[in-house]
């Protein structure tokens, strides 16, 4: 009786605690990429739960049906040959599950690496997100502004985050918009995201990068396009320009609050030329060839002038 009441008390306690918990961020998507990943996670959980329930049910059945019984000392169990049907189930079902999960993973991986579904015809907002110990720098090259430790984005518009690092490898992650992607010092990686609606979100570095890693976070605010344009105008009216000297100070290891500047560090400290995205790589290659041709032209002009 005491055991019964103890079990009931434990069940009610667990239920009360879980009812007060907020939903996991990865299971509360606010964008199409995160929705794909959340659906995959839930489908995997249901499949694994089904497997566990079936296995435990079989275990209970076997323990009950074939439990030890009072038999004579000379009892010998009957000889039973293998069952092809049972063996086919034991081998075939796991193979089917692995194939299904593999196809699902590959399909969803292509989806989250591309422009968010439903936003293919829109012009994306390009934001360079670079990390340093232990801060995040967000450069808006088209808008000509830069922020530290926070990023404002328009809702219902595709986003292209160009990621790289001024220090150790970090991982850019906004759980409610999509999965994480690494930011490295010698190349630029591209992360495609979008937000369904306005709201405040949380972002962070998901890769251990030293003693300040735990507080290496940033704020994300999705807003309407009109509010985003208004914010850009306010920045140009009120913020100070970002100088190379100021930017070098920002790169010093340590934690900082939020700050906003006009101009970007891309003007005097450009992103690495090596891009992970193939389209970006081709673009960089073309730009490099154009620069090389221009250099050759200048050399020829200088040579002619000398003669």
Average pLDDT, the chain: 86
- Whether 305 has a pLDDT exceeding 50, the answer reads no
Q: What is the pLDDT of residue 155?
A: 97
With a pLDDT cut of 70, the percent of the chain lying above it is 82
More confident residue, 290 or 260: 260
Q: What is the pLDDT of residue 278?
A: 42
Overall average pLDDT of the 155-169 stretch:
96
Overall average pLDDT of the 210-237 stretch:
95
- Whether 44 has a pLDDT exceeding 60, the answer reads yes
pLDDT digits (tens, 9 = 90+) for 174-193: 999 999 999 999 999 999 99
3.30.930.10, 2.60.40.420, 1.10.1510.10, 3.40.640.10: CATH of 125-285: 2.60.40.420
- Whether 269 has a pLDDT exceeding 50, the answer reads yes
CA angle 155, 158, 159 (to 5 degrees): 95
- Whether 283 has a pLDDT exceeding 60, the answer reads no
pTM: 0.78
């Amino acid at each position: 009786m005491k055991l019964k009441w103890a079990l009931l008390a434990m069940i009610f306690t667990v239920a009360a605690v879980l009812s007060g918990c907020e939903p996991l961020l990865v299971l509360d998507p606010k964008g199409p990429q995160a929705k794909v990943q959340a659906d995959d996670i839930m489908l995997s959980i249901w499949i694994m739960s089904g497997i566990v329930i079936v296995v435990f049910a079989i275990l209970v059945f076997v323990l009950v049906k074939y439990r030890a019984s009072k038999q004579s000392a000379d009892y010998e169990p009957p000889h039973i040959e293998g069952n092809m049907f049972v063996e086919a189930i034991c081998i075939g079902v796991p193979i089917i599950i692995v194939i299904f999960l593999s196809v699902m993973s590959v399909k969803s991986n292509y989806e989250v690496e591309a422009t968010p579904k439903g936003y293919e015809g829109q012009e994306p907002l390009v934001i360079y997100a670079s990390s340093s110990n232990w801060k995040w720098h967000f450069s808006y090259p088209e808008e000509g502004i830069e922020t530290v430790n926070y990023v404002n984005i328009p809702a219902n518009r595709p986003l292209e985050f160009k990621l790289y690092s001024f220090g150790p490898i970090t991982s850019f992650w906004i759980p409610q918009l999509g999965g994480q992607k690494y930011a490295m010092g010698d190349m630029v990686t591209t992360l495609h995201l979008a937000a369904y609606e306005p709201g405040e979100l949380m972002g962070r570095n998901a890769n251990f990068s030293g003693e300040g890693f735990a507080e290496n976070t940033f704020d994300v605010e999705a807003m309407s396009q009109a509010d985003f344009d208004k914010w850009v105008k306010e920045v140009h009216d009120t913020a100070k320009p970002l100088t190379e000297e100021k930017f070098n100070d920002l790169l010093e290891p340590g934690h900082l609050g939020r700050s906003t500047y006009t101009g970007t560090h891309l003007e005097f400290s450009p992103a690495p030329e090596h891009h992970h995205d193939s389209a970006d790589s081709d673009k960089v290659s073309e730009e490099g060839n154009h620069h090389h041709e221009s250099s050759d032209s200048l050399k020829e002009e200088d040579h002619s002038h000398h003669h």
